[in-house]
Amino acid sequence: MITPSLTDRILVTGATGLLGSHVIRELLTHGYDNIVAMKRSSSSMALISDVHDRVEWWECDLLDLTSLDDPGVVDAIIHCAALISYDPRDRDAMERVNVEGTKSIIELAHRKSVKRLIHVSSIAAVGASDDGNPVDEKALWNYEAGATSAYSVTKFYAEQEMWRAHVEGLSVLIACPSVILGAGDWTQGSASIPHRVAAGLLYYPSGSTGYVDVHDVASILRKMLSLTTDGERYIVSAHNASYKYVLENFARALGASPPTRELPLWMHSVLPFLSRIRQLISGDSPITRTLLQSMSQVRHYSDSKLQRDIGHDYRPLIDTIDRIAKAYGEAHK
């Protein structure tokens, strides 16, 4: 198997987002200086402004295959582009971006005969553990009507497209990160945690999940470029922790009051209703029953396969929280 070299041309999708921007920096730091980065005409460059002039930008629409003008030689692809949302209004958009967009990238990979296609999936596309042990890559994903988010469904189907591509001859690797923590757009995804904590939270969800620093995910994706095996899937999760623990430590780092009450089950019915009213007034993303059910589950994840095949020393969770809180404080002075 031929793996990409430092001089090969690496395409990164989702390059202006939290993960994609860190992947760009990781590649540049380790000697990859022939990078083409995909972006939309409307994409904000705020997260990539420090290195945007060190890569070649390819402006195109991932959702329109006919607009994917020829980017020239492409030796490998790291596919980070995705839409993450628990808002029911975004279901169709997630279908287009996460599934149809992935199909477009696979078509491009076939045309360019790439040496490697790395797909960033999610633990949302991984099943649960039946015996109480940490979830690993063998856990089967299961659709449960009313309890499975549209995001989970679309990431699962995107993975199926990747397995099809592998059967068709592409060298494919899949990374399934847990909750990715990093300083980015403070209104979006996990980067909104310090904003919500600083504003004041009374309740904390009862469940737990896996967490991983965005720098660690970027490093692992870079290591996957030179992995000598393919057709593999890896859970990328550094720490298993309760939502209570994470929110308390963000509050400590921000000098804010931590949430003191566990979210009661009866609020799982009330909050979505109240959130829907607020959505109609302000346009904010709603809190859904599916999201609340997910955050009440205790989920632990195992990265033993990744450590066996790739190996990685993760950053301590406390250090990640402190770094993000410091960045948030500096941004909001």
- Asked if residue 281 has pLDDT above 50, the reply is no
**Total-model pTM:** 0.92
Confidence grade of residue 265 (pLDDT, cut at 50, 70, 90): low
Length of the chain measured in residues: 333
Predicted confidence (pLDDT) per residue in 225-257, tens digit: 999 999 999 999 999 999 999 999 999 999 999
Tell me how far CA of residue 331 lies from CA of 192, 254, 295, in angstroms.
13, 12, 28
Rg of the chain over all Cα atoms, to the nearest angstrom: 20
225: which residues sit within 8 A by CB, 6+ positions away? 3, 4, 10, 76, 78, 116, 118
What pLDDT score was predicted for residue 145?
57
What pLDDT score was predicted for residue 28?
97
- Asked if residue 81 has pLDDT above 60, the reply is yes
H or E segment to which residue 221 belongs: helix 214-225
- Pair 46, 112: CB distance under 8 Å: no
Among 66-75, 96-105, 208-217, 268-277, whose mean pLDDT is lowest? 268-277
Map out the domains of the chain with their CATH numbers.
10-183+210-239+300-314 (3.40.50.720)
Confidence grade of residue 277 (pLDDT, cut at 50, 70, 90): very low
What pLDDT score was predicted for residue 64?
75
d(CA 14, CA 83): 10
Q: What angle do CA 291, 86, 205 make, to 5 degrees?
A: 25
